[in-house]
């Protein structure tokens, strides 16, 4: 069966491109002595996580305990939950997870550290902790300073916890080459300040975990990293292309949709909208729309509702008729995968299998 | 158990508010002699669809065959697929559906009409068709004019099809009272032009299906409608509040989240982002963010990533600590429900059950 025989909208993954993406990152990190701990948020698929480990990853990263459980069910046994954990239910599940996998957790508050320590000590576990530091994303992570030092010491001293090091997320180091190099220089200045602060406080870090897909190929230029946690590189997407981190031919995942209406002139409606693609924008720009047509790259989804994607045909080089199929590179592949229960696998358009997205919708 | 004992992020539905919303719409439409055919895209939940029918709805509307199948599985037997259908697989499933439910389909192209007619005639079914007309959404639907007349005639004449009438979607009739009244006047002018066009061509419509939640309470002022297809009114959301169509106390669905980080000053991070709330904006405005805090309405989610919701605490009237729970009114409830497998039901905060979102993720 060909992918063009599959009913739409459908997510298809080119296994050869995916394998090339996985190998390229594995080879690169091996060459530079970096541990590659892929964030599985992008694929949420145990089969792909296992392949990443086969290619050399010491373990994986996830955001939620529920994602960790899915991966542990599939035999993944070294899991970083790269997201702060709080609350009784989370502690309970975290301890159960420790029975069957080596679990590390990132956190940035005394509250989270104390809760995990109490649960771990009671259960007889020792959980490796990365303290999260904010170097520019302004999301999670303490600023470099006394509060960070105090939390690292707390983690080092609490029974049930093992202070492993720090976690940063460097999604802000991106952009075209000149811009990215400027960001790299700035980021390295912050990293050196971080290392100075930690070593002045006699805090020794076995792990400095950072990186992200937009700067994956520059990870060795980020001072002192021991580990990187890219996610998107497995599939890539329009965002990755636009950050300059990959080319169109490195995109492994596409959405095939069908034109269902051409009734309003100048546009074609495809049978997928935000329920298929998510509403994520390209770098926050509504003008850039929601995905580009592979066969006709001047054409993109200019607006959408849940089930309607509007292709503006102003720059079209072909005719669009009801029933025609369109192959779309989505803006943000992670949120696309989370909307689909299955990924169809193909090799040059021939369907060769399917993966169930077992980690989809694991919100907790 | 109280909803505040549930692990987060979690979607909770106040069954009393939901019931009041359902009854209000049922009473209103009955009073005005309008058929209420709720669009189930909002709840995707057979139990709620059945309640809508118990309260007087002659049937339901869905967008996809997969949603229709879920509803037919639950005994719903009068289903409008309010979305154009094309392609061999869709035809096959449509015919199977006709074996167990009365199915109507909306369409706006000869291609879709011909495909359905051929399949229906071969299977010995007659499918009721609504021809979709665009009165301002610029999405699906033919403009009022000769092409529309030609398609209606085609549908009337094709064996296997029954021309029932027309479908419009009037999501553009919204806004504050004065604005909405202006939109109503303009929409009625278009509707009269539509009816003149159809009657000049001797096309008689048993069904004029229209409406939407933002103008639900004005449906009787929209000339000539026989049926309305609102969806959101079952739960309401921030968008509905902002169109003036409901008040805060009419919101039946909330997302409860937990603060997981306060490390970056001036903000708190909650454990839900676009994977929990979707990225849908309020009327396209990025400045308005992604959802408001019920307990502290000056606080809203200013930006998000997949797992991070950033609450800007500039207008906060309380302290936010790691572990605190926050109740959020999401921007767009339909896309939220599609991200969750289950809705927890409560009455004044006491958990009274749960519904599985059986129609979630039915993309095809």
Interface confidence (ipTM) of the complex: 0.96
- pTM comes to 0.97
* Residues A216 and A286 reside in one and the same domain: no
Is B322 in contact with A111 (Cβ distance < 8 A)? Answer: yes
Q: pLDDT tens, A60-89?
A: 999 999 999 999 999 999 999 999 999 999
How many A/B residue pairs have CB atoms within 8 Å? 184
Polymer length of chain B: 364
Question: Cβ-count burial of A316 within 10 angstroms (0-12 exposed, 13-18 middle, 19+ buried)?
Answer: middle
Is B305 in contact with A139 (Cβ distance < 8 A)? Answer: yes
* Residues B207 and B299 reside in one and the same domain: no
Polymer length of chain A: 364
* Residues B288 and B266 reside in one and the same domain: yes
Residue B239 near residue B246, CB atoms below 8 Å: no
Q: Chain A 193-232, CB below 8 Å of chain B: which residues? A: none
Q: Which of B179, B205, B235 is the last residue of a domain?
A: B235
Domain count, chain A: 2
pLDDT recorded at residue A201: 98
Per the structure block, which two tokens stand in for A272?
């997928």
- Give the count of beta carbons closer than 10 Å to the beta carbon of residue B65: 26
Q: Is residue B363 part of a domain?
A: no
Q: Which of B200, B217, B235 is the last residue of a domain?
A: B235
* CATH code for the domain in which residue B117 is found: 3.20.20.10
Mean pLDDT to the nearest integer, B176-205 = 94
Nearest to A5 by CA among A349, A318, A251, A355: A349
**Position B199 confidence tier, pLDDT thresholds 50, 70, 90:** very high
Query: Closest-CA residue in chain B for A136?
Result: B264
**Position B175 confidence tier, pLDDT thresholds 50, 70, 90:** confident
* Residues B120 and B260 reside in one and the same domain: no
* Residues B74 and B186 reside in one and the same domain: yes
Query: Closest-CA residue in chain A for B134?
Result: A264
Query: Closest-CA residue in chain A for B337?
Result: A275
- Give the count of beta carbons closer than 10 Å to the beta carbon of residue A50: 16
Query: Closest-CA residue in chain A for B82?
Result: A307
Helix, strand, or coil (residue A286) = helix
Is A140 in contact with B109 (Cβ distance < 8 A)? Answer: no
Q: Is residue B280 part of a domain?
A: yes
Which residues of B fall within a CB distance of 8 Å from A322?
A: 84, 86, 109, 111-112
- Check CB contact of B96 with chain A, cutoff 8 Å: no
Residue holding tokens 């009721």? B128
Domain that holds residue B340: 3-9+243-356
B297 pLDDT above the threshold of 90:
no
Q: Is residue A280 part of a domain?
A: yes
pLDDT recorded at residue A107: 98
Residue holding tokens 């529309």? B148
Q: What is the pLDDT of chain B when averaged over all its residues? A: 96
pLDDT recorded at residue B178: 85
- Give the count of beta carbons closer than 10 Å to the beta carbon of residue B90: 26
Q: What is the pLDDT along chain A (364 residues), one digit of tens a residue?
A: 999 999 999 999 999 999 999 999 999 999 999 999 999 999 999 999 999 999 999 999 999 999 999 999 999 999 999 999 999 999 999 999 999 999 999 999 999 999 999 999 999 999 999 999 999 889 999 999 999 999 999 999 999 999 999 999 988 888 877 888 899 999 999 999 999 999 999 999 999 999 999 999 999 999 999 999 999 999 999 999 998 899 999 999 999 999 999 999 999 999 999 999 999 998 878 888 999 999 998 999 999 999 999 999 999 999 999 999 999 999 999 999 999 999 999 999 999 999 999 999 999 9
CA angle B59-A274-B11, nearest 5°? 70
- Check CB contact of A177 with chain B, cutoff 8 Å: no
Q: Is residue B273 part of a domain?
A: yes
* Residues B64 and B195 reside in one and the same domain: yes
- Check CB contact of A289 with chain B, cutoff 8 Å: no
The 10 Å CB-count burial string (b at 16+, else e) for A251-261 is bbbbbbbbbbb
Q: pLDDT tens, A285-296?
A: 888 899 999 999
Is B84 in contact with A260 (Cβ distance < 8 A)? Answer: yes
Which site among B88, B305, B337 would you substitute to test the A interface, given the most A Cβ atoms closer than 10 Å to its Cβ? B305
Q: Is residue A361 part of a domain?
A: no
From A284's Cα to the closest Cα of chain B, the distance in A is 8
Nearest to A364 by CA among A92, A39, A5, A53: A92
From A31's Cα to the closest Cα of chain B, the distance in A is 31
C-alpha B334/C-alpha B331 separation (Å) is 9
**Position B283 confidence tier, pLDDT thresholds 50, 70, 90:** confident
Q: Is residue B223 part of a domain?
A: yes
DSSP class of residue A107 equals E
C-alpha A263/C-alpha B137 separation (Å) is 12
Which residues of B fall within a CB distance of 8 Å from A42?
A: none
**Position B107 confidence tier, pLDDT thresholds 50, 70, 90:** very high
- Selecting from B7, B139, B276 the residue whose C-beta is nearest the C-beta of A305 gives B139
Per the structure block, which two tokens stand in for B162?
């029954």
* Residues A36 and A149 reside in one and the same domain: yes
Q: Is residue B364 part of a domain?
A: no
Residue B216 near residue B28, CB atoms below 8 Å: yes
Query: Closest-CA residue in chain B for A338?
Result: B275
* Residues A160 and A273 reside in one and the same domain: no
- Angle, helices B146-157/B110-123, rounded to nearest 10 degrees: 10
Q: Is residue B95 part of a domain?
A: yes
Distances (CA, A) of B92 to B70, B88, B126, B132, B252: 16, 6, 14, 22, 37
Nearest to A360 by CA among A25, A162, A16, A70: A70
Nearest to A193 by CA among A157, A224, A239: A224
C-alpha B257/C-alpha B362 separation (Å) is 26
- The proportion of chain B whose per-residue pLDDT surpasses 90, expressed as a percent, equals 93
B171 pLDDT above the threshold of 90:
no
* Residues A106 and A150 reside in one and the same domain: yes
* Residues A183 and A71 reside in one and the same domain: yes
From B213's Cα to the closest Cα of chain A, the distance in A is 15
- Cβ contacts of A211 within 8 Å, gap of 6 or more: A170, A219, A222, A225, A227, A228, A229, A230
- Give the count of beta carbons closer than 10 Å to the beta carbon of residue B142: 24
* Residues B275 and B325 reside in one and the same domain: yes
C-alpha B241/C-alpha A62 separation (Å) is 36
B176 pLDDT above the threshold of 90:
no
pLDDT recorded at residue A249: 97
B287 pLDDT above the threshold of 90:
no
B11 pLDDT above the threshold of 90:
yes
* Residues A199 and A307 reside in one and the same domain: no
* CATH code for the domain in which residue B258 is found: 2.40.37.20
pLDDT recorded at residue A175: 81
Helical (H) or strand (E) element with A253: strand A253-261
Q: Which of A235, A256, A289 is the last residue of a domain?
A: A235
- Selecting from A264, A321, A334 the residue whose C-beta is nearest the C-beta of B306 gives A334
Q: pLDDT tens, B138-165?
A: 999 999 999 999 999 999 999 999 999 9
Nearest to B361 by CA among B337, B344, B345, B332: B337
- Selecting from A90, A139, A274 the residue whose C-beta is nearest the C-beta of B278 gives A274
């Amino acid at each position: 069966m060909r992918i063009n025989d599959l009913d739409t909208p459908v997510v298809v993954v080119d296994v050869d491109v995916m394998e090339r993406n996985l190998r390229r990152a594995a080879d690169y990190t091996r060459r530079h002595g970096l541990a590659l701990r892929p964030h599985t948020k992008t694929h949420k698929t145990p089969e792909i996580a296992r392949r990443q480990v086969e290619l050399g990853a010491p373990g994986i990263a996830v955001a939620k305990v529920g994602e960790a459980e899915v991966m542990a069910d599939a035999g993944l046994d070294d899991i970083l939950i790269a997201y702060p954990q709080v609350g009784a239910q989370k502690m309970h599940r975290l301890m159960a997870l420790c029975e069957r996998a080596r679990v590390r957790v990132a956190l940035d508050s005394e509250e989270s550290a104390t809760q995990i320590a109490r649960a771990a000590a009671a259960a007889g576990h020792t959980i490796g902790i990365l303290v999260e530091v904010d170097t520019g994303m302004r999301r999670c992570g303490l600023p470099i300073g006394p509060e960070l030092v105090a939390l690292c010491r707390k983690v080092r001293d609490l029974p049930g916890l093992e202070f492993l090091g720090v976690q940063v997320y460097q999604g802000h180091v991106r952009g075209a080459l000149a811009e990215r190099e400027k960001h790299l220089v700035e980021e390295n200045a912050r990293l050196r300040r971080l290392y100075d602060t930690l070593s002045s406080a006699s805090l020794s870090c076995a792990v400095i975990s950072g990186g992200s897909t937009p700067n994956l190929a520059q990870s060795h230029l980020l001072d002192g990293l021991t580990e990187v946690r890219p996610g998107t590189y497995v599939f890539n997407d329009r965002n990755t292309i636009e950050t300059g981190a990959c080319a169109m031919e490195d995109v492994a995942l596409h959405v095939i949709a069908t034109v269902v209406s051409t009734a309003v002139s100048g546009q074609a409606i495809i049978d997928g909208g935000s329920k298929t693609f998510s509403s994520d924008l390209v770098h926050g720009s509504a003008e850039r729309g929601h995905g580009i047509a592979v066969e006709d790259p001047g054409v993109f989804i200019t607006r959408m509702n849940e089930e309607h994607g509007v292709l503006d045909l102003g720059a079209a080089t072909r005719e669009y008729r009801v029933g025609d199929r369109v192959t779309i590179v989505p803006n943000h592949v992670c949120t696309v995968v989370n909307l689909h229960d299955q990924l169809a696998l193909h090799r040059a358009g021939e369907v060769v299998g399917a993966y169930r997205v077992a980690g989809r919708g694991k919100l907790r």
